[in-house]
Structure 1
């Protein structure tokens, strides 16, 4: 150990005076007690064994250093440097295991770039876990490669097979689970029996079905990883919003409160009250209809409210009574549909009594069929103009002449079509 420290100390002192990339490479070099043995460099190994470009290898080696030093004390850090990365032996064994379950050289390179610390994992630990993915879960090689691209840390730290088996069944498919893990792999880090299942049981006691829970946790998977008392606190907060457990909106209320603090929710309620000029009782009626509006930023809510009042001509009271309008996309739904409505009314193709709320609530497929496709002969460029507006060509700010821009696009497009 004295020899080890006498070697590391000058290395550390020298590295502290050098640019960080050089320091990150320095820690990966080990000198054998035999002067004839060449030092091992992870950076060089990544180039030679994994086929990485030198610049990419340097970046990956630096990433390995950052990951290791972040989670280890000095003594453990020394052990990492010298126990499993003192030679190519451990990395070779890990690569052999990855290759053994069918991963190609390109797949292995991607996994290593994502999680270079996998190369120092214990082959005795990850070997059975890797084979379980193939033999127990029946995952084909492409799915194993894709999982390792986002879940290799879990493979290093725990027996991930039973957890994957549970969550694939719970969320309905491997693809759905993979999408969730890409956002956060925390659900693979906690104990299913002690944490996940009790939380699911509690959510079910509060009226949520397994399907509801899976839907909510597809966007907020961390909800399943909280302490049981914290989950109960969130359920109480959802109920305090005025959404009863029996309501189909309750799952959305749970999703909202799991994303924002109690203080932020109160601030958002106050903002809506002042911006719309309504009473607390009116807000108390509006929010339970569409709890998700509390998850929107005040800036976005303000833009939508101003659009509905200044451009559409709605009264604040009407918005309070129809809060679902605030949940629709301003750019992709509200503005384009308002353009279509005003244009068709100006052309005499739509009754002037048609309200914007009714038009905004129609499903996209039905809307296009009834108000776009049905006018393709009389207004040839309408479909293109609507598509452009939905794609954001029509500005989404406040106080813009969106109808004129929409008409200009429509007429220009029609002229170009006829000229062609």
Structure 2
């Protein structure tokens, strides 16, 4: 069987890339011309899955139960040749077969060929199609996948965006459009444009396949945290509330009040500006609250009006930039009135230019100390009394 696989791959690899025949036809030809093997009542499916498909013994044992009707390797050989011709690596082919053993029984000329031809007609490259095979699994062996991909390409705007969404939710290509289309239409009614819907659903593709009532509840939750339809934060709020229910949102609301000593009004201000606070773990919020309140000395109202800082890394940005600016102020190299938040939100390049490189003569160890702090350590020069 190993010699057979090498023979198939050799034929594929020796096909001239400059041939006037289309790649689609070359795939069919390679599969059709794979070495014929006479049916044998003693065909050992489990051994074939291990030796030729690359499955582990445990995977092969489980998969063979779904292939007990196979009496010959001829059809699986054709499928393997076709997948190899698409560019799938042996490990990827093994993963496809392990996930969906019946993929080996699909007709190359009747199904796989037309599917690949249809996807090529939609503008997908061979490498993109090979990725789709791995992500779509059993859905790829249904010709109905082509119109679904056509719809999703229009929705997401590109093959790359679609594949990113499928990595998070492969169920998209198995979903019923009677669920998907009403959800898209509703999001449009809520004021989201095509670009916003694409960005939202690349990150949260399950929104498309959810029950319509769930999507309506998400919108209500987003509005409840201070992001009305049509607002700049509405899409971000939908992304934040997608995995939550009313009870979890209410619990996080109360935790924010307690942790940051915020009033109800201040919680609403913070969430309206940064609804992603709902997605930050309690432990992370607690540690940031202790640092910003106790060490930096920021007032609750100041933080509530600038909640973006709570989404920044404590070890990678909040602490290092605070210690650098405090060091500069302590040594008379920076105006004490410089606002902490304005220092936090500038880019790393600008920060390095303005607060590190500019003072390399007066503070030659500053860059080294800053790098040390970014690694989670506090150098002696940054330990203020």
Report the TM range for the smaller structure's normalisation: 0.7 to 0.9
Counterpart for residue 49 of structure 2: 46
Counterpart for residue 60 of structure 1: 59
Counterpart for residue 153 of structure 1: 138
Rounded Cα–Cα distance in structure 2 between residues aligned with 1:217 and 1:87? 44
Q: Is the 8 A contact 2:45 2:68 kept in 1?
A: no
4+ residue segments displaced more than 6 Å = none
From 198, 211, 224, give the equivalent of 1:227: 211
Counterpart for residue 336 of structure 2: 352
Rounded Cα–Cα distance in structure 1 between residues aligned with 2:142 and 2:361? 63
TM-score (norm 1): 0.73
C-alpha deviation, 1:265, in angstroms: 0.4
C-alpha deviation, 1:97, in angstroms: 2.8
From 208, 215, 240, give the equivalent of 2:224: 240
Rounded Cα–Cα distance in structure 1 between residues aligned with 2:100 and 2:323? 49
Matched, 1:404 2:380: yes
Matched, 1:276 2:280: no
Rounded Cα–Cα distance in structure 1 between residues aligned with 2:343 and 2:136? 44
Q: Name the structure, 1 or 2, with higher relative contact order (CA <8 Å, separation 6+).
A: 2
Counterpart for residue 286 of structure 1: 270
C-alpha deviation, 1:251, in angstroms: 0.9
- Cα 1:283/1:103, change in 2 over 3 Å: closer
Rounded Cα–Cα distance in structure 2 between residues aligned with 1:165 and 1:387? 48
Counterpart for residue 394 of structure 1: 376
Counterpart for residue 302 of structure 2: 318
Rounded Cα–Cα distance in structure 2 between residues aligned with 1:117 and 1:356? 60
Rounded Cα–Cα distance in structure 2 between residues aligned with 1:373 and 1:171? 43
Counterpart for residue 132 of structure 1: 118
Equivalent residues, number? 344
Rounded Cα–Cα distance in structure 2 between residues aligned with 1:382 and 1:137? 55
Rounded Cα–Cα distance in structure 1 between residues aligned with 2:100 and 2:380? 52
C-alpha deviation, 1:121, in angstroms: 4.0
Deviations 1:92-128 (A, max 9, x none): 2321332454556566446445654532445443342
Unmatched segments (≥5 aa) in structure 2: 1-39
- Cα 1:110/1:368, change in 2 over 3 Å: farther
Q: What is the root-mean-square deviation in Å for CA atoms of aligned residues? A: 2.9
Q: Is the 8 A contact 1:180 1:218 kept in 2?
A: yes
TM-score (norm 2): 0.79
Deviations 1:201-236 (A, max 9, x none): 211111111111111112111111112232122111
Counterpart for residue 246 of structure 2: 262
- Cα 1:175/1:405, change in 2 over 3 Å: farther
C-alpha deviation, 1:293, in angstroms: 0.1
Q: Is the 8 A contact 2:75 2:104 kept in 1?
A: yes
Matched, 1:206 2:190: yes
Aligned to 1:60, the other structure's residue is in SS state helix
- Cα 1:219/1:130, change in 2 over 3 Å: same
C-alpha deviation, 1:155, in angstroms: 0.8
**Mean Cα displacement is larger for which, 246-255 or 123-132?**
123-132
Aligned to 1:308, the other structure's residue is in SS state helix
